[in-house]
Every structure is written in C-alpha cells, then in structure tokens.
Amino acid sequence: MAAADKIPAQTDVAPYLTEQRWEGYRPEQHAIWRTLFHRQAALVQRRAVPAYLDGVAALSVSADSIPDFRIVNDMLGRRTGWSVTPVTGLVPDDVFFTLLASRRFPATCFIRREDQLDYLQEPDVFHDLFGHVPLLVNPVFADYMQAYGEGGLKALSLGGLGRLARLYWYNVEFGLIATEDGLRIYGAGILSSRSETIYALEDERPHRVGFDLMRIMRTRFRIDDLQQCYFVIDSFAQLFAATRPDFAPLYAALDRQPDVEPTATEKGDRLFAPVAPLSH
C-alpha cells in the first residue's frame, strides 16, 4: 500500500463526526452490551489470538457497561497513539481511510436492539469496541491499520478500492491466525458474532487458506451470511510486511486475472484443517 504520495485533495471528515454522549445511554442499552459481552467473552477466551485478549484487558473494556470512549481513549492513546472517534454510522470510503491514516478508528455509538443480538449487517458499538478496538493496543497491528488507511487513499486514485476492500474483509474483519496453540481468531467480524466464532474455527464447511496477498485480492466475499472462506496469517508482522510494497503494479496485474469465488479453492492454496470442537 505504502508511499502515500497520491493522496487526494483533503477529505472533510467533520460532517461524519459525532459525540458519544455516554450519559445518554439507557439502562436497557447497557444491559444489551452486558449480555453480548458475557456470552462472547466466554467463547473468545480460548479462540481469540492472545494479543486480542491482552487488548481487552489493557483497555478495561468490560461487561459493566457500554465503554465510555473518553476512558478507552485515555488508555489507547498512551499505548499506541490511536483513538476511537465517534461517527454517525457507515462513513464514505475516503472519510474512513482518512481517519485510519491519522490513527483515528471510526466507531459507531448506537447499540443493536434486543431482537438483533445474533445478527446485524451494519457496525454497532459492540462490533467496533469489542471486535476492533482491542487489537489497536498491539503496536504492529496499530501500524498496519494506519498503513491500510494510507493505502486506501491511494487505492481511491488508482481504481484499486474493490481489491483493497477484500484485503480488509479477509483480514481485519474475518482473519484467522496460526499460533503455536493452533488456529485462533483476530477478525472483528468473527469476534463480535457468536455463531461465527464457533463456525470459523470448528466447522468443516468453510475453506481456511494460508495468507496470499494476490489470492485474497482476487476473492469475492459475501456480507450477508457466514463466510465460506477464511485466510490464515502466521503473524501480524507477516501481514504488515506483505502489504508494505507499492500496490499500483499489483492492481494492474490483478486486472488480467480472474476473480475467485469464496466457495472455490485453487492450485497452490495452503489449506488448514478446522480445530477440534471446543467444549465451550
């Protein structure tokens, strides 16, 4: 991604920023957070990458209440210089990338309703704070996310946005990582979903393919169901190193290669077996 020499005219992020107004949450809303937190914390304990669990502990994101961004930011700022920036909802791509490039993570403030505990297509505060923010405590991942924002701004001017969105999807949202204790989860879309946390690691159906940058950028994805394909990195350092070079020649090369369906495998794929079912 790198070399942010073609950043487009300054994007105005201000219209999309909002305030969290933590005092305005109702008790029922904190209760929804608590329910989500309790059931998910138990599941991810043995399934998430240790760096993620370290982040949860460091930020004192807990079951007690919806996190107060001011308190999270105090801690996060001291660790890696990132901050959680409250936004109105899904923001346009240029706004999203501009915020990431300046180490601000756009987070939604609303929490899902009681009848949406298991599934929600748009990001809410549980997805953003429980799923995404803990890994921003990790220095390598923190730098990767900033580089992704810079690469995104560049992709906008190179027609590479669709490719780069796939990279985000298959890593930041739905990534798996091979650790010495076996496969673990680091993608926020998985970590904030009860059914996908179990399915992504333990189900026989989805493919689990070893990280390959070009393979990822050729692979389509669906946003309305459990994934049919996951990609497995060896380390955050591997991810960061692989995405450091200039992507312009890669986008050009990809225009001459066919897309891959998420249900398909290819010659050369390094496939991982699911992990043995965990009791809880």
Structure-block tokens of residue 77: 């700022």
DSSP 278: P
- The residue at minimum Cβ distance from ligand HBI is 96
Q: Does 17 bind ligand HBI (CB under 6 A)?
A: no
Residue whose CB is less far from Fe ion, 99 or 188 = 188
By CB under 6 A, name the one of 17, 75, 165, 226 that touches ligand HBI: 165
Of the candidates 76, 91, 135, 229, which one interacts with ligand HBI according to CB under 6 A?
91
Could you tell me if 57 and 67 are in contact, meaning their C-beta atoms sit under 8 angstroms apart? no
Query: Strand, coil or helix: what is 12?
Result: coil
Nearest Cα neighbor of 145 from 155, 135, 154, 157 is 135
Nearest-approach distance from CB 223 to ligand HBI, in angstroms: 10
Instruction: Give strand ranges (E) for 18-117.
Output: 83-87, 104-108
**How far apart are CB 155 and ligand HBI at their closest, in Å?**
9
> What is the rounded distance in angstroms from the CA atom of residue 2 to the CA atom of residue 29?
40
Contact letters for ligand HBI, residues 101-130 (x by CB under 6 A): -----x-x--------------x-------
By CB under 6 A, which span of 60-68, 88-96, 179-187, 245-253 interacts with ligand HBI?
88-96
d(CA 228, CA 208): 9
Residue 127 or 275 with smaller CB distance to Fe ion: 127
Q: Which is nearer to ligand HBI, 104 or 208 (CB)?
A: 104
Is residue 221 close enough to count as binding ligand HBI by CB under 6 A?
no
Q: Which of 144, 123, 273, 238 lies closest to 189, judged by CA?
A: 123
Query: H-helix or E-strand containing 178?
Result: strand 176-179
Site of interaction with ligand HBI (CB under 6 A): 87, 90-91, 93, 96, 106, 108, 123, 165, 168
